[in-house]
Amino acid sequence: MQGDYHKMFRGTYTALVTPFDDRGEVDYAALRRLIEAQASAGIDGIVPVGTTGESPSLNVEEHIKVIEETIDACAGKMKVIAGTGANSTSEAMELTRKAMEAGADATLQVTPYYNKPSQEGLYRHFSAVAELGLPVILYNVPGRTSREIAVETIARLSGNRNIVAVKEAGGSVDRVSAILASCDICVLSGDDALTLPMMSVGAQGVISVASNVAPEGVVRMVRMAMDGRWADALELHRKYYALFCDLFIDTNPVPVKTAMAMMGLINESLRLPLCSMSDPMKQKLAGTLRKLGLAE
């Protein structure tokens, strides 16, 4: 079964922003428009209410509704990996149950990011969520969580048939090699600038922020790498490298929502404590978008 899941979660998945209207409410009509555009671009799946979707700023009702609306809008054309992680294991399980009921294909489970569990605590936390039966993609992002999921812990967790992948956002290509040398699990890049290097050592795709802005380009780069067309993939990596970097000149998702607003895709609306970028940062980002022909 795990082998089938490994194939199932290859490709390009967009860590989708959550659009807000002028009043700061979730704009579900805009959400559907974004998903339709992602489908047209050939994206393999959508990841709603992850970090990029401002999950810490949504209440539980909004969180579940965004997942439900995403599943409905994807209509089986793209997979849905629901962001249902939490600091509390019981909360993560409750959110995951709701995602299962709504028809999600998998859950993205971020490392609990405030209470600093031990590796044994992480093992028990992720195992408990996995026992619900929905395929679990672990999310290693130590820059946001103060904890790294140790390679040894990932290897232990890979013995659970429902834990099928790990999103690696720790900035280390070396960890991809270490994980794959230790166990049989799908690795997805969690860092656009490292997608191609990670795929060169065995990662099978990306959960991307940049594909909110340039979905066709990211899809092409990943598919070329999957097909072994490394020189062509490298050309696209170089083309979009400045964008990959500039989307992180401020806290994610501030730059990507700003870029999408510049492109006329959404309102430039964030929820506190996130706020707008400085004008110099906006000018830098706008220049990169213009060079790529993504904005005027």
- Whether 241 is a known active-site residue: answer no
Q: Which phi and psi (to 5°) does residue 138 adopt?
A: -70, 150
- Whether 167 is a known active-site residue: answer yes
Specify whether the CB–CB gap between 209 and 52 falls below 8 A: yes
Residues in the chain: 296
- Of 169, 189, 288, the C-alpha closest to 240 is 288
Catalytic residue among 79, 98, 167, 257: 167
The two tokens of residue 29 are 């009509």
If you search the block for the tokens 């992720």, which residue do you land on? 126
- Sign of the torsion formed by the C-alpha atoms of 133, 134, 140 and 141: negative
- Sign of the torsion formed by the C-alpha atoms of 264, 46, 113 and 195: negative
Name the 3-class secondary structure at 110. strand
Rounded distance, CA 253 to CA 158, Å? Answer: 30
DSSP 241-290: HHHHHHTTSSSTTHHHHHHHHHTTSS-----TT--PPPHHHHHHHHHHHH
Catalytic residue among 113, 139, 240, 282: 139
* H helical segments located in 172-229: 173-182, 195-200, 215-226
| 5 Cβ neighbours under 8 A, 6+ residues apart | 135, 164, 165, 186
If you search the block for the tokens 């964008």, which residue do you land on? 243
**One-letter identity of residue 278:** S
Catalytic sites, residue numbers:
139, 167
